Homo-oligomer: A and B are copies of this chain.
Amino acid sequence: MPLEALRYPVTPVGLHYLLIHYDIPFVDPARFELSVGGLVARPLELSLDDLRARPAVELEVTTECAGNGRALLPGPRPVSQPWLAEAVGTAAWRGTALAPLLAEAGPVDSAREVVFTGLDRGYEGGEEQVFERSLPLEEALRDDVLLAYEMNGAPLLPQHGFPLRLVVPGWYGMAHVKWLTRITVVAEPFTGYQQAHAYRFRRDEDDEGEPLDRIWPRALMVPPGLPDFPTRERTLAAGRCRVKGRAWSGHAPIETVEFGVDGAWAPAELDAPAGRWAWRGWHAEWEATPGEHVLSCRARDEAGNTQPDEADWNVGGYANNGVQRVPVRVA
């Protein structure tokens, strides 16, 4: 998502970030079925029509790739998508809640996790894989976890998981399994590749690490002024400038955003909240004086989580929510 698209409360289609491990599957919706099985009393098979006949929910959710900021980490570049800060977006997802469906299937007493399997297949870590991730049962039973079949008022696009995807508000993108075809209730921690090997925060190669789950707070601004092609260096005129941006956290609502000029911080003005799971707009006024400046912003959430000035390197290049820095030249 080019950062000027932070202007939009809901990211226009085609500007929302994408991270796709394998090829985009080509799915015939008429033949599509979602199965719900594993450790349940009553396994289910549902067509798209079955899912659409259930009560519908629409929710604006900000989703961010766990690897956002990877290319800005100090140290050796992890081999994966070299994101700067653009791997984020907000969409209006429409679908049906997962919890009532799971309740109908009836997880048995030993149930601990729920595994979500997509139709996307490929090789990773030297093995043939399907994309699969699990959630703890209590997380899967949250009332705002959705099986989504629409995005921004239209059927899901192929690249966003057509015809069905999981939406787990507040979690990094890897949890929002696309092309969702199977839900399996299990009693043991899921050890699939995307759970046990990828998407873990590891300090070094010997560190088993911690799994990534909820999004750490981040604020971003629309870089002011005009960009250079192709360096993206920015130039603006001296004088009053309103800087706008958005901030989000998967841990708690945003409490404050600060705007910084050359290391001096001042509170930014927050816009009205747009719902618990959507990013929150903010703006700050700046009297731009001629010369070179570095603009920054940083968010704090109500749980007290903040952004580091610079994040520590980690093996996968995950969760770099270091403060955004936008160098500008004021002419």
Contact = CB atoms under 8 A, between A and B. Distances in A.
Interface of A: 2, 4-5, 7-8, 12-16, 18, 20-24, 26, 79-81, 121-124, 128, 157-160, 226-230, 233, 235
A7 B24 CA distance: 11
A151 to B, nearest CB: 10
A122 B24 contact: no
A230 B80 CA distance: 7
7 contacts: A4-B26, A15-B158, A22-B227, A123-B226, A123-B233, A123-B235, A124-B228
Contacts of A159: 2, 12, 14-15
The number of times this chain is found in the oligomer is 2
Nearest to A162: B12
Contacts of A23: 2, 4, 226-227
A23 B235 CA distance: 12
A227 B12 contact: no
Given A2-B23, A26-B4, A123 B228 contact: yes
A81 B227 CA distance: 15
Contacts of A16: 14
Given A4-B23, A12-B158, A15-B24, 4 more contacts: A2-B23, A5-B24, A14-B14, A81-B230
A22 B128 CA distance: 40
Contacts of A5: 24, 158
A266 to B, nearest CB: 25
Contacts of A8: 158
A22 B231 CA distance: 10
Contacts of A15: 24, 157-159
Nearest to A3: B23
A276 to B, nearest CB: 26
Given A15-B159, A158-B15, A159-B15, A228 B122 contact: yes
B26 A2 contact: no
Nearest to A79: B230
Nearest to A193: B229
A226 B121 contact: yes
A80 B230 CA distance: 7
A157 B2 CA distance: 14
Nearest to A124: B229
A233 B22 CA distance: 11
A15 B228 CA distance: 25
Nearest to A20: B2
Nearest to A5: B24
Contact of A24 (B4, B13, B20): B4
A14 B7 CA distance: 18
Nearest to A24: B4
Contact of A14 (B22, B157, B227, B228): B157
Nearest to A126: B228
B226 A128 contact: yes
A63 to B, nearest CB: 15
A26 B222 CA distance: 12
A8 B27 CA distance: 12
Nearest to A8: B158
